[in-house]
Structure 1
């Protein structure tokens, strides 16, 4: 998509709420016209009271003026209600759109930004757009409509003096435009500075315990202080360069300045008999209405700038071409998994996987082993569609992962990671995450199969205990809940990334029995560090530096006396004996 084709930020963000905003603009336009109508009624009343040549009843005009005032208040209130309701609905819509987008961007996108930057867009930037939607739309409408109505009436009184009334408005808007000139690049820099301070704050709070443990709290504090100082310096420089212009744009449209200009021209004309006194009164009352609305916008320049910058950030994320796998409409034909010439890099330079070829057959257990950094977890994430290969293709059931329908992909694959995230919800809801409609019996059966049932019912609230409130689980217990979650989802493809990393030897053996039974008729990939846990696998792939260097069954790889055999021998040497286990239990 070219820059010409790419939609503008406000078009992307405000597009869904055009209709209610158009209604608000119409209501505010009528309110602004009615507000000027009140002043016109006052002029007419003054004209009839002060001019013997134009006697007449003033009560009808007074009543019309009061009706106009009431109409202006009611319509303006209605317009404000519409814009605020629209703003609330838009914030909800945008956060849903952002959540949908964030669920589909690859993990590398998060790694490049950090939680602070994500929080800024999803919360801070959406909130910062409030002024644009709820107020600026109405302010701009008033700035356009009120001067037009006032000038139209004044032109019927003395067109040449009406032109003079436009002078402060023209100067004020010109100065305002000058103040906003070049705001695009500056807003980008403002957004970057805000993202950095958000990231530094999140890093400081999240890592303070670890940093204090190692005596490094001062490092995080220094980073946060530097980010805060950089943000303050940038904002001060920006404000210093525009404060004078912004102040002048507000001052030139204030009532005293406007009246000074009008009276400096109108009074000599009235003295010379070129302008009737009643006409001069009309200009005294209405001239401020021509320019005064612009003062409201001038005083809110920074809020407008911030809102425009926030809209650009939100639109950029919504329009982001995520490159996420699982964005098509295809459905897998079977559960075989094939890697063909797959390469992958997190940073675009260092390849974690390099021309990788492998195949996982349906109904078999494949173990992936190798040293740390060999690319094992990357393989798992490519299968799950969390990353997209930079070269080659990953296919499930003969369909490339990126061409699969997202729902079909999620139904096909169950995924158990090393680091388990449990939600602040009941234990039952955590297990039923992939199947919210599962009944209690199904949830309990999955927990029993994962050997976590006894731990759950040991809590007074049992399966209704809220994680993080009523109960806390150890790493191994959380991992078994994650396995129960995958068992309940009952996917045809199951990927276990160090799924037994936190289990003790006794629990690990029990979990392996449950997983072996689950593997029947499924494609199972087990990424393991403990080779003893995968020696019964149908095939074992030894990964090193992004390539499969050995492949076969356990006894075949031992017979090769290669890398796998050396890894096995090293682990067997460190493996606890029954005597040591008994001593440890005692």
Structure 2
């Protein structure tokens, strides 16, 4: 099917397989707990590393916020002093009263100015960090092996580039000010109140002690693991949502909407059960924490203690006023710290995922660039194994002579796509070499390689850009006449003429393309590149009979005289191929023409009978 992407997500890659359903995690073992702790520590190190270049400006923001927080106490202290003056016996000292008002107003103004400066500096650093991270991610994603994307969904990649980078916003722009206020304001308030009456100060600290104790119960290692599991589950649900929406047209076409919707709904229900269990485990403690730190509870406790001291005659009534104004300042930041720690843990996890993506090994650039001479393709003793050591190709020797068509057939998992993707260098073989025109593809610069090798796969990626820009993706300086010529040859021109703005119609805004139409656009791209070598992965997988005929005609124009490597799932499409290669378990088990292999009665004959029934003859046309 066709997938329309914004222009800015050109390096996001292609979709992978659907995400697994969300299931609650079982009680972790000691090893799992150690791994979680190590991951959290690594996240902190990654976070510190990301922030290191900005530590000077962040320190300045902290200093501004600290002074601003202290200045913010001035209005409260002014009210206290004004209250003492008004409640004192005898005439009111107007000069002293107005002095308190002026100092309070000045403190308020200073707080506003310093807090705004601190916030502005924090947001400036946040913007620079976001820009730097996204540039680094885009640069790295543009250099990683294209095969890396086949194991990751677009939702997962976007979750790091967009979501995880955005998660750092609160930590940079807001958390420093919140944490500074959470330390400075209670400390200053405590010192002032202790000087007024140490006994009532101890009473005012009771909610703080209770709140911190409850918060510690909510911040155990087990709760942190559960929080990480919730974050991972939300990421899987997000990726599942993207894939469900992107795949709905194909699903509906083949009548599977009910089954796919049921799988998605089951995944969402499993996540909901998991999340409700996570919330239920902390709801009681969270409610208790909110209660003991709430202003009504704090004021009730202070009023009770103050009433006892005043009625005993051991404290003047006027001394109760500072406790009524400042005791809440002791507890409010503690409540904010709980949310702040959650944001810090989330930022640590995001920093770890960002670092993981930035650490993906890019394809090495050629040390000694080589230019291919001719279009002969040769696989020499090629083997490939994924990162987990699982081998998928074993000692492949294969030659594609110029101007010939070679078809790869075999069951799913035989290694056909992996073998084909080594030619345009989606990744490098772990053994042996792939040569184009006598040069190892690892020694051919990317620009040269992709001018010589074009590929059309089942899922054509479309940008949220004009039709013309999508066709000229690999040749951005192509003239409009060249774009139109390629579209005509691909059988797309008549459709484009019916669109509101013709070739300037924007995909995803002015129009959309069906799967068959998108595949014709992919053919137009390849025609415009005019590459002598083509890799085709069942380019008609989503086409109906009429569209298939049109795509066949377009492929006939595209493939004429070119060296072709075709991955075939429907055998009738490759009966006239110059060579058919049958693969099983990462090995070549048969090779020859259609007539030779059918006469031999081997694996190709068995596959043909499985698809068409005993005695069926060849049908359809080859990709030639």
Structure-1-length-normalised TM-score: 0.75
Range that drifts further, 71-80 or 96-105: 96-105
Q: Distance in 1 between matches of 2:470 and 2:247?
A: 26
Match of 1:574 in 2: 618
Match of 2:583 in 1: 544
Answer whether contact 1:169 1:290 (CA < 8 A) is retained.
Answer: yes
Answer whether contact 2:140 2:362 (CA < 8 A) is retained.
Answer: no
Q: Does 1:441 align with 2:481?
A: yes
Alignment of 1:161-310 (within 5 A): 162=201, 165-182=204-221, 183-198=223-238, 201-202=241-242, 205=245, 217-259=257-299, 262=302, 279-298=319-338, 300=339, 305=342, 308-309=345-346
The alpha carbon displacement at 1:355 in A equals 2.1
The alpha carbon displacement at 1:351 in A equals 5.3
Structure 2: runs of 5 or more not aligned: 1-34
Change in Cα spacing, 1:472 to 1:225, as seen in structure 2 (3 Å) is: closer
Change in Cα spacing, 1:217 to 1:86, as seen in structure 2 (3 Å) is: same
Q: Distance in 1 between matches of 2:88 and 2:266?
A: 70
Match of 1:423 in 2: 463
The alpha carbon displacement at 1:527 in A equals 4.7
Answer whether contact 1:368 1:526 (CA < 8 A) is retained.
Answer: yes
The alpha carbon displacement at 1:153 in A equals 3.2
Match of 1:582 in 2: none
SS where residue 474 of structure 2 aligns? coil
The alpha carbon displacement at 1:195 in A equals 3.7
Match of 1:385 in 2: 425
Q: Distance in 1 between matches of 2:363 and 2:186?
A: 54
Match of 2:97 in 1: 58
The alpha carbon displacement at 1:360 in A equals 5.4
SS where residue 434 of structure 1 aligns? coil
Q: Distance in 2 between matches of 1:6 and 1:62?
A: 48
The alpha carbon displacement at 1:432 in A equals 0.9
Answer whether contact 2:203 2:302 (CA < 8 A) is retained.
Answer: yes
Q: Which of the numbers 66, 74, 78 marks the counterpart of 1:37?
A: 74
Which of structures 1 and 2 has the larger relative contact order (alpha carbons within 8 angstroms, sep 6+)? Answer: 2
Q: Distance in 1 between matches of 2:308 and 2:499?
A: 91
SS where residue 438 of structure 1 aligns? coil
The alpha carbon displacement at 1:169 in A equals 2.7
Q: Distance in 1 between matches of 2:506 and 2:598?
A: 50
The alpha carbon displacement at 1:211 in A equals 6.1
Q: Does 1:68 align with 2:112?
A: no
Per-residue CA deviations over 1:142-199 (Å, capped at 9, x if unaligned) read 1111112223334454567656654533442332232122232111221243245445
Range that drifts further, 130-139 or 502-511: 502-511
Structure 1: runs of 5 or more not aligned: 578-586
SS where residue 355 of structure 1 aligns? strand
Match of 1:580 in 2: none
Per-residue CA deviations over 1:86-111 (Å, capped at 9, x if unaligned) read 66666666566555566666677666
